[in-house]
Amino acid sequence: MVRRSPPEPRRERGQAAIEYVGVLTLLLVVALAVVQLGIAVYAAQQAGTAARTAARVASTDHQEHRAGAVARQSMSGWLADDIGVTSTRGSDSVTVTVSVDIPSLLPMFSFGSVKKSATMPRD
C-alpha cells in the first residue's frame, strides 16, 4: 500500500502585494483629504484676518477706498490673488466682507469659496 500525501494547497503568490497596494491607496486618499481640509481651514482663517484688518482701516476717516488693498496685504500671497472684498458703510459702522476661493490639490475638484465679515465702529 502506497501512501499518498495530501495535495499541496495552491500558493497565493502576490496576495500580500495586492493587499499592500490597496491599503496604501486608501491611506493616500485619507492623507489627501486631511491636507485639503487643512487648506480650507487656513483659507477661512486668512479671510477672517483680512476682513478684520480691512474693516479696521475702513472705519477710520476717509479710508474706505483702501479696504481691498489692505485685505490683500494682510493675507498670504498665494491666497490673496483670488479674493473679493466688499465694503458697506453704515451710519456708525463699517462692514467688510472678504471672499476667498479655496485652493484645491486636485484640479478636477472645486471646493467653492469661504466668506468672512467684520464690522468696526466708525471713527
Going from N- to C-terminal start, the domains of the chain cover 16-121
- pTM: predicted TM-score of the whole model, two decimal places: 0.79
- What is the side-by-side order of every strand in the sheet holding 113-121? 83-89, 93-101, 113-121
From CA 51, how far away is CA 67, in angstroms rounded? 9
Q: CB-based burial of residue 118 (10 Å sphere; 0-12 exposed, 13-18 middle, 19+ buried)?
A: buried
From CA 64, how far away is CA 59, in angstroms rounded? 7
Express each pLDDT in 55-66 by its tens digit. 999 998 778 888
Q: Which residue has the cell 479674493?
A: 83
Express each pLDDT in 7-27 by its tens digit. 666 666 778 888 888 999 999
From CA 94, how far away is CA 53, in angstroms rounded? 12
Express each pLDDT in 66-109 by its tens digit. 899 999 999 988 888 889 999 988 889 999 999 999 999 988 88
pLDDT at position 62, please? 76
pLDDT at position 106, please? 87
**Identity (one letter) of the amino acid at 34?**
V
Query: In sequence order, what are the residues at sequence separation of 6 or more whose Cβ sits closer than 8 angstroms to the Cβ of residue 23?
Result: none
CB 47 within 8 A of CB 99: yes
